[in-house]
């Protein structure tokens, strides 16, 4: 027990060391003039800018929390739509042969198109409003939801289906009481990938004329040659992404406790 605790502390120290080295070398490389501070700000400046941006609208018109909330709303609402449509669609495609034959070929063609490639056609058809941005993120988030729920159903253990059959379960009951719960492992993987995709596609979506949002702030930082603002935006995205992942993991543990050992 004591030993386990010590190992844990050791690994924690290693993680801290990794971060410390990364930021240390970065700070030094700017301080020592290896990299010009016009193109890269040192972490200390980034922290200053972060604190400044918490409550100040300069130079991009909104405070960091305003940008952040705008982006979060955009990403999460698109993500939610993708999950609500994508997961059931994947389930149906996985369980019903006709649905798979009907939709799979189309899906296979759409799947490899990167979300960014959608932008021009979306601007032409939907303009540059909120719904256009949502659609780009939706496309990115939708694909992993469908694929993983589809596979989750397909990978259902035949013996479990047989158990349900010997219980006299109907086709629909087998789908709802055996296949869907069995697929949850894969569904959660899909949802996790989908959340990542929606958060990482955010910047691309906010390249469409936006007046607020983290992607917009980053873009403006480039125009104004303010690497500190760009980096603040990047790290906000990074931290939030990691945090969202954690939250989703906790949610998963609540909803599907059978996946975890005691």
Partner 1 sequence: MAVLKNKISLKNVSKTYYLKDRTVEVLKDITLDVKENEFLVLLGPGQCGKTVLLNIIADLEKATSGEIIFADGRPKMGDLGMVFQKYALFPWKTVMGNVEMNQKLKGVDKATRQAKAQEYINLVGLQGFEKAIPKQLSGGMKQRVGIARAYASESDIMLMDEPFGALDAQTRYSMEDEIIKIWEKNKRTIVFVTNNVEEALYLGDRIMLLASRPSYVKKEYIVDLPRPRSYTDKAFLEMRNEIVANTDLDI
Q: Which two structure tokens, joined as six digits, stand for 136?
A: 């780009």
167 binds partner 1 (CB under 8 A): yes
Give the chain's count of helices (H) and strands (E).
Answer: 12, 0
Q: CB of residue 157 vs partner 1: minimum separation in angstroms?
A: 7
Which tokens hold the place of 118?
């959608």
Percent helix, strand, coil in the chain (nearest 5)?
A: 80, 0, 20
If we measure between CA atoms, which residue out of 136, 123, 245, 259 comes closest to residue 191?
A: 245
Q: Rounded distance, CA 123 to CA 128, Å?
A: 6
Please say which residue, 51 or 255, places its beta carbon nearer to partner 1: 255
Of 13-21, 46-54, 83-91, 154-162, the segment contacting partner 1 by CB under 8 A is 154-162
Which of 1, 14, 109, 159 contacts partner 1 by CB under 8 A? 159
Residue 84 within binding range of partner 1, rule CB under 8 A: no
| Binding region for partner 1 (CB under 8 A) out of 6-14, 91-99, 170-178, 205-213 | 170-178
Q: How near is the Cβ of 242 to partner 1 at its closest, in Å?
A: 28
**Structure-token match 């998963």, residue found:** 252
Q: Does the footprint of partner 1 cover residue 258 (CB under 8 A)?
A: yes
The span of 46-54, 72-80, 172-180, 215-223 binding partner 1 (CB under 8 A) equals 172-180
| 3 state DSSP class of 224 | coil
Signed CA dihedral, 238, 118, 191, 82: sign only: positive
Asked if 262 is part of the footprint of partner 1 (rule: CB under 8 A), the reply reads: yes
Given 162, 239, 246, 251, the residue binding partner 1 (CB under 8 A): 162
Q: Which stretch binds partner 1 (CB under 8 A): 23-31, 90-98, 107-115, 156-164?
A: 156-164
Residues 6+ apart with CB under 8 A from 165: 174
Give yes or no for a cis peptide into 59 (omega within 30° of 0): yes
Residue closer to partner 1, measured from CB, 40 or 169: 169
Residue 137 · residue 79 · CB < 8 Å:
yes
Which of 140/180 has CB closer to partner 1?
Answer: 180
Cβ 250 to partner 1 shortest distance, Å: 18
CA atoms within 13 A on the CB side of 248: 19
Positions touching partner 1 (CB under 8 A) are: 157, 159-160, 162-169, 173, 177-178, 181, 184, 256-258, 261-262
């Amino acid at each position: 027990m004591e030993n386990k605790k010590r190992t844990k502390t050791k690994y924690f120290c290693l993680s801290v060391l990794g971060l410390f080295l990364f930021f240390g070398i970065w700070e030094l490389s700017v301080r020592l003039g290896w990299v010009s501070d016009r193109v890269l700000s040192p972490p200390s400046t980034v922290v200053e800018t972060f604190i400044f941006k918490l409550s100040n609208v300069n130079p991009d018109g909104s405070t960091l929390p305003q940008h952040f909330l705008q982006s979060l709303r955009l990403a999460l609402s698109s993500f939610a739509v993708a999950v609500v449509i994508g997961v059931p669609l994947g389930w149906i495609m996985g369980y019903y042969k006709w649905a798979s034959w009907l939709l799979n070929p189309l899906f296979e063609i759409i799947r490899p198109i990167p979300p960014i490639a959608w932008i021009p056609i979306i601007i032409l058809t939907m303009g540059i409003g909120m719904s256009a941005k949502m659609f780009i993120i939706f496309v990115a988030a939708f694909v992993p939801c469908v694929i993983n729920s589809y596979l989750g159903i397909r990978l259902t253990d035949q013996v479990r289906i047989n158990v349900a059959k010997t219980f006299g379960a109907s086709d629909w009951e087998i789908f709802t009481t055996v296949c869907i719960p069995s697929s949850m492992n894969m569904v959660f993987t899909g949802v996790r990938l989908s959340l990542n995709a929606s958060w990482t596609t955010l910047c691309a979506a906010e390249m469409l004329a936006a007046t607020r949002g983290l992607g917009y702030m980053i873009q403006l930082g480039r125009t104004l040659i303010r690497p500190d603002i760009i980096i603040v935006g990047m790290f906000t995205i990074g931290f939030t992404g990691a945090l969202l992942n954690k939250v989703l993991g906790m949610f998963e543990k609540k909803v599907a406790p059978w996946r975890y050992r005691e």
